[in-house]
Amino acid sequence: MKAVQYREIGARPEVVEIDTPEPKPGEVLLKVTAAGLCHSDVFIMQLPEDQYTYGLPLTLGHEGVGVVEAVGAGVDTSLVGQAMAVYGPWGCGICERCAAGQENYCLRAAELGITPPGLGSPGSMAEYMIVDSPRHLVPIGDLDPVQAAPLTDAGLTPYHAIKRSLPKLVGGTTAVVLGVGGLGHVGIQILKALSGAQVVALDVSDEKLALAREVGADHALMSDESAVEAVRDLTKGRGADLVVDFAGIQPTIDLGQKVLGVGGDFSLVGIGHGAPTAKVGFFQSPYEASFLVPYWGYRQELFEVIHLAQQGKLTVHTETFSVDKAPEAYGKLWDGTLRGRAVVQF
């Protein structure tokens, strides 16, 4: 089968021919229909050798959707033929965190060597993939696979980050979205669908700002120092009640801190290189502000995100590519020239 692999430190991903896997007891074999590309893929492919821990060769893809092709011993055979999205942050399934659906924070994943598909385990950017347990599948029904694949991360991650701040986002409040890429443009829609906040989107390119307006941002502004005063004006001096930083680089963290209001939440989702940091303390951060560093989302939250999409409340803007064109798609993600999410369609 064809697979898109990262094979050598510093090299670009390649399309290769590898053996089709077979499901072991307890596992599920999925015939992949769509796989999304995430900036985190680029992040790990830019890591120097001494910081790279994901194994080589690595079949990429941590956003995946497919149809169950076969199941291993002990797995319900009625799953065969069903269209499923893959919940990616795999955990052990039995610790206290996993019991609450919080497999992204599994207490034993590291100890047991459990890694997400595409981030250690073979991922979804291949004609077939192994899912370690049917517990990590969410039925998508009639949802278009190209829509559903990005929802497993570009939908789930902003959903998780925003959901916990919803009690603060009543009418009259403001949410600032930094970075209107794959995650950010879905984040804007989640805020509009679930909260009473006005949404101010900040990015560095006019195309991304146009996308922000298209998906419902109330204001879309250049991400530079001028945004500080603009947000102050738009909030009548109150500042933002939530800042979600989908870039996670020092300039966005610094800007986000400047626009955050008293009691606001700063949710750092983006993972920038060079360990960028936020300043927390008297005269450095607003009174009673909270700083959060969320990772992916909970298992039941993926059901919730899929339901929102099925109700027409979330639409992922996608650029689709064939598997052979996946390296080109990665090139566009690298260069920042994608609109929305790139999805490989099988």
242's enclosing H/E stretch is strand 240-245
- Please work out, in degrees rounded to the nearest 5, the angle formed at the alpha carbon of residue 149 by the alpha carbons of 164 and 188: 40
Q: How many residues form the binding site for ligand NAD (CB under 6 A)?
A: 32
Fill in the per-residue mask, 122 to 161: x = in contact with ligand NAD (CB under 6 A), - = not in contact.
-------------------------------x---x----
177's enclosing H/E stretch is strand 174-178
15 in helix, strand or coil?
A: strand
CB atoms within 10 A of CB 50: 7
Question: Which residue of 83, 106, 140, 240 would you call a contact of Zn ion, by CB under 5 A?
Answer: 106
Helices (H) and strands (E) in the chain, counts: 11, 16
Residue 91 binding Zn ion, by CB under 5 A: yes
Beta carbons of 217 and 201 less than 8 angstroms apart: yes
Nearest residue (beta carbon) to ligand NAD: 181
Residue 40 binding ligand NAD, by CB under 6 A: yes
Question: Which residue of 66, 91, 248, 261 would you call a contact of ligand NAD, by CB under 6 A?
Answer: 248
CB of 250 to ligand NAD, least distance (A): 9
Residue 173 binding ligand NAD, by CB under 6 A: no
User: Which one of 5-13, 101-109, 312-320, 328-336 is the stretch in contact with Zn ion (CB under 5 A)?
Assistant: 101-109
CB of 300 to ligand NAD, least distance (A): 17
Helices 182-194 and 156-163, interaxial angle, to 10°? 40
- Please work out, in degrees rounded to the nearest 5, the angle formed at the alpha carbon of residue 122 by the alpha carbons of 121 and 128: 145
CB of 38 to Zn ion, least distance (A): 3
Residue 322 binding ligand NAD, by CB under 6 A: no
Residue 179 binding ligand NAD, by CB under 6 A: yes
**From residue 233, how far is each of 221, 226, 237, 238, 286 by CA, in Å?**
13, 11, 6, 9, 17
Nearest Cα to Cα of residue 60 among 26, 83, 88, 82: 88
Binders of ligand NAD among 197-216, rule CB under 6 A? 202-205, 208
> How many Cα atoms are found within 13 Å in the side-chain-facing hemisphere of 83?
13
Q: Give strand ranges (E) for 63-188.
A: 63-71, 83-86, 128-131, 137-139, 174-178
Residue 246 binding ligand NAD, by CB under 6 A: yes
CB of 289 to ligand NAD, least distance (A): 19
Kindly list the residues in this chain that would bind Zn ion in the complex (CB under 5 A).
38, 40, 91-92, 95, 98, 106, 108, 153
Binding site for ligand NAD (CB under 6 A): 38-40, 43, 153, 157, 178-184, 202-205, 208, 223, 246-248, 251-252, 269-271, 294-296, 333, 336
